[in-house]
A and B are shown apart, each in its own frame.
Chain A
Amino acid sequence: MKRVCVAGAGAIGSLFAAHLARVAEVSVLTRRAEHAQALERDGLRVSGRGDFTSCVTAADDPAALPDPDLVILACKGTDLDRLAARLAGHFGRATVMTVQNGLGAEEIVRAHGAWPLLSAVTFMSGTRHSDTHVEYVLDTATWVGPNRGTTGDDAREVAALIESSGLRAVGFDDLRPAQWSKLIFNATVNGVAALTGLPHDFHFAETEHDGDLGLLVRDLVEEGKSTAAATGVELAEDPWEMNVLATGRGNRHFPSMLEDVEAHRPTEVELINGSLVRAARRAGVAVPLHTALYRLVRAKEASYTP
């Protein structure tokens, strides 16, 4: 794989693009023309866990970009349908990889083209300081697995490419155990954070007293585990342990859904909480708490407009 196109240059897309540009020819598909011009002029700078600037090709029109071997769709779930629609009819020789939170990103992309698909979930995080500067914050891995027309070997090849660029990645024959672990974790943590205004911190693991938030978090995780089990997915990690680990030693993180509701932006509630609730319904598992969480977050979005 010599040529990679990163479509969507938010924090995650910028991290992929800047790192991969050290080992491959990278192009970036942006939404805004000024963003593409700035990238071509100034390159893409990484700070934090890295300190370098990469040269990339960039455009706001896929027709203006070289034909890639791999496309990484790195936008938010709420923008995926629009982004995939822009790629329709382009990049016919490429494999397309989704990295969105939740479930169902692949189905959205399938509707817009016949590309072979890879599924990925990413645990890395970054802060976007400008169009051309991203800070690399959490160096946790991206997990890649096969989807339509791909195999575990394809997933491992892409994971190896990502690893060689200085990011962390693992390829799997079946992504679902990892994807579902993250889905349950994300649905729970993002939903609770968006409704309470709390960052993901020690409150999420408190279970000592009646009414403690950790008790709710644990019950939500249990509903998710029942759904995974009924769907035939064996989880890669216990989401409750992920929660305890992530909030230990005074760590706190502002989940994207909390930032979205505070900024009155649409959230990823459909791909994350909605997909979990729908999967539970298909599997015949009652998830009253996740259903409540999903409805409350959607209602909170509705409150943006008077």
Chain B
Amino acid sequence: MRICVVGCGAVGSLFAANLSLLDDVEVIAYDLFLAHVEAINAHGLRLSGAGEVVGHPHATADASEIGPCDFGIVATKAMHTEAAIAATAGSFAQGSVATVQNGLGNEEVLAGHVGRVIRGTTFPAGKLLEPGHVQWDVKGDTTLGPFEPSPAPLDAVERLADACTRAGLPTSAVADARGPQWRKVIFNAATNPIGALTGLTHGRVCERPDLRTLVSGLVDEGKAVAAAQGIELDSDPEALIDHAAKPEVAYDHKASMLQDIEARRTTEIDFLNGGIVRFGREHGVPTPLNEAIWALVKGVEQSWQQ
């Protein structure tokens, strides 16, 4: 089985390194960060933290080197999906392409370039420490399912899930993967930008009753948009939010969007709150709070161009 991980940042590296340990899988890691590519080819791809792994995928920044693949796993930041799949689509003429990215709308972008698309949601997380070396912060489950308008066959989804699970990344294949995806999107859209706009950690956001009410307002809009599409959430985002606010879980966690803003990196707001607004509009569900938060975070990004 040949698998190309498209976008080998933190999450992509977790998949590439673990999958490369399997005897029956050949992994190609495609990324444009040359120092990372060269380090992987010279010394392997090292994970440390939640698991100690040194994998040996073949890394390249040249899409023409990838060759035909059975599967793609797209793990770029959401704003780079279009460019990444446009460059690599030829390798998946006979294969299926899964997204394990954040936010909404990635599947639609992939389907513009390839015929068989897998909707995915993943919870493992980490950060790139240096070229060739990724810190694995959190283990977690991944859910894969056919993307309904351009579906990969369910048996292909199952083969990919099986490979990931055997590689140490527990993954389930389901007929409808929208529930976990929307649960994660609603969680992220209700908490990430609030931390980003106020500068508060997740725990401090949740302990201010007025702000926690705003978070619930954002959750409610997301739930209404999911319900209008017939999506059943696999668990209540509110419970996740309260769980994460506990001191022993993620009270002190700075949302990734807050980290992005502090480093003046473009955020994924268009695919989180912006995605909820777009899907809401398609299904006639008003989302005024998500729209407001979307505009405010975009305003923050615009302020860097002054």
A: residues with CB less than 8 A from B are 192, 195-199, 203, 210-213, 215-216, 219, 288-289, 291-293, 295-296, 298-300, 302-303
Contacts and interface: CB of A to CB of B under 8 A. Distances in A.
B288 A288 contact: yes
Contacts of A196: 296, 299-300, 302-303
Interface of B: 194, 197-200, 204-205, 208, 210-211, 213-214, 217, 270, 274, 277-278, 281, 288-289, 291-296, 298-300, 302-303, 306
A288 B199 contact: no
Contacts of B294: 211
Contact of A289 (B197, B210, B277, B288): B288
Contacts, number: 91
A210 B292 contact: no
Contacts of B277: 210-211
Q: Which DSSP category, helix, strand, loop or mixed, fits chain B's interface? A: helix
Contact of B299 (A198, A293, A298): A198
A53 B67 CA distance: 78
A131 to B, nearest CB: 30
A213 B288 contact: no
A25 B292 CA distance: 50
B295 A299 contact: no
A210 B273 CA distance: 12
B210 A295 contact: yes
Contacts of A299: 194, 198, 200, 205, 208, 211
13 contacts: A192-B296, A195-B296, A195-B299, A198-B306, A210-B277, A211-B294, A289-B289, A292-B214, A292-B292, A293-B292, A299-B198, A302-B200, A303-B204
Which of A210, A211, A298, A302 is most buried by chain B, counting CB atoms within 10 A of its CB? A211
Contacts of A211: 270, 274, 277, 291, 294-295, 298
Contacts of B292: 216, 219, 289, 292-293
Given A198-B303, A296-B296, 18 more contacts: A192-B299, A195-B197, A195-B299, A196-B299, A196-B300, A211-B294, A211-B298, A216-B296, A288-B288, A292-B292, A293-B292, A296-B194, A298-B210, A299-B208, A299-B211, A300-B197, A300-B199, A302-B208
B208 A215 contact: no
Contacts of B199: 300, 303
B210 A203 contact: no
A303 B255 CA distance: 14
Given A211-B274, A296-B194, A300-B197, A219 B302 contact: no
B204 A213 contact: no
Given A196-B303, A303-B200, A213 B291 contact: no
Given A196-B296, A299-B211, A302-B204, A292 B289 contact: yes
B200 A213 contact: no
A298 B289 CA distance: 17
A76 to B, nearest CB: 22
Contacts of B302: 196, 198, 203, 213
